[in-house]
Amino acid sequence: MPHDVQPDRLPHLAANIGADYADSFAACRELLALMFELDAPSPDGRVGYAMGFALYDYGPIKLGMSHGPASIMVRSPQLIARSSVDQFHVQYYRSHGFILTLDGAEQAVRPGDICMLDLSRPAALRTDGIDNLSAIVARDLLSPLLADVGDVHGLVLRRDSEAGVPVREHLDEMWLRGPELTVEQGLAWSRSTAALLAGVVRANTQSRAATRAELRRSQFRAIRRRIDSNEKRPRRNRGRLRKRRRLRKP
C-alpha cells in the first residue's frame, strides 16, 4: 500500500487488492470492516473480487476514490456498536449508482447524485459496481453548523439539482487539487466544505418544511371546499323537495 507523504503536503494513500492476493475478497472485506460489512451478491461474486482505492487526508475530511465489482455494503447496528466510526459520509457514484436502504425503505441513487449518510445510523447499499468519490467528514466539523444532525442521514441531492451540482463540483475540485495542497490549505478546504454541506442541508430542510406547510394549506383549503359544498347541498335539496310538492298538488 503506497503511502505518499511529501513535506507539508496532504498525506496520500493508494491500494489495489486483486488476483495477487490469496483471498482478495477477505482482504477487501477487512479493508472496509470499520465502515461497512461487505458482501457480494452471490458466492460466485467473491471469486476474483478486486478493489482499488486512493485517498487524500484533508485532516477532518478524508477524500477517497474507489472502484470495485458488484457489492453489498451494510452498516448494521452491530457494526455501529463495535466500531468507533460516527462520521458523516458524503459520496457520489460516477457510474452504476446504487440502491440505498434506510429503515426498510429503498430508493435509487443514480450516477452523479449526492448521497449523505450519518455513519452512527444503519444503512445498506447495493450496487452493480463501485465507482465513487466520497468524503468522510468528522462529526465535530459539521455538527456545530447544523440545527439538527438528523437532517443529514439519507439526504439525496439529484445530479442536476441546484444543490447537487455545487457539491459534486466541489468534491471534484478537492480531488484535483489534492496533490498540490499543503496540510494548512487542506484544513481550510475542510472548513469550506463543511460550510457548503451545512448550507445545502439547511436549505433542503427549509424547502421540506415549506413544502409541508404548503401541503397543509392545500389540505385545509380542500377541507373548507368540502365543508362549503356540504353546507350548500341541503339548501339545494330542500328547494327541490318544495318544488316536487308543488307539482304533486291537484
**What's the length of the chain?**
250
Query: Is residue 242 assigned to a domain?
Result: no
pTM of the model: 0.80
| Helix H or strand E encompassing 125 | strand 123-127
Query: Is residue 195 assigned to a domain?
Result: yes
Query: Is residue 187 assigned to a domain?
Result: yes
Grid cell digits, residue 242: 318544495
The helix/strand count (H/E) of the chain reads as 5, 13
Query: Is residue 240 assigned to a domain?
Result: no
Query: Is residue 222 assigned to a domain?
Result: no
Q: What residues pair up with 108 in beta bridges, in sequence order?
A: 99
Domain count, the chain: 1
Pair 114, 167: CB distance under 8 Å: yes
Q: What CATH number did the domain enclosing 164 receive?
A: 2.60.120.10
Intervals of the chain under pLDDT 50: 1-2, 209-215, 217-218
Domain hosting 173: range is 3-209
Q: What pLDDT, on the 0 to 100 scale, is given for residue 206? A: 80
Pair 175, 94: CB distance under 8 Å: no
Three-state DSSP at 148 gives coil
Query: Is residue 38 assigned to a domain?
Result: yes
Q: What pLDDT, on the 0 to 100 scale, is given for residue 213? A: 43
Which letter does DSSP use for residue 181 in this model? -
Q: What pLDDT, on the 0 to 100 scale, is given for residue 1? A: 47
Pair 28, 15: CB distance under 8 Å: no
Q: What residues pair up with 101 in beta bridges, in sequence order?
A: 106, 124
Query: Is residue 214 assigned to a domain?
Result: no
What is the C-alpha to C-alpha distance for residues 66 and 54, in angstroms, rounded to an integer? 7
Neighbours of 24 (CB within 10 A): 19
Instruction: Give the amino acid at 225.
Output: R
Query: Is residue 94 assigned to a domain?
Result: yes
Q: What pLDDT, on the 0 to 100 scale, is given for residue 84? A: 86
What is the C-alpha to C-alpha distance for residues 42 and 52, in angstroms, rounded to an integer? 20
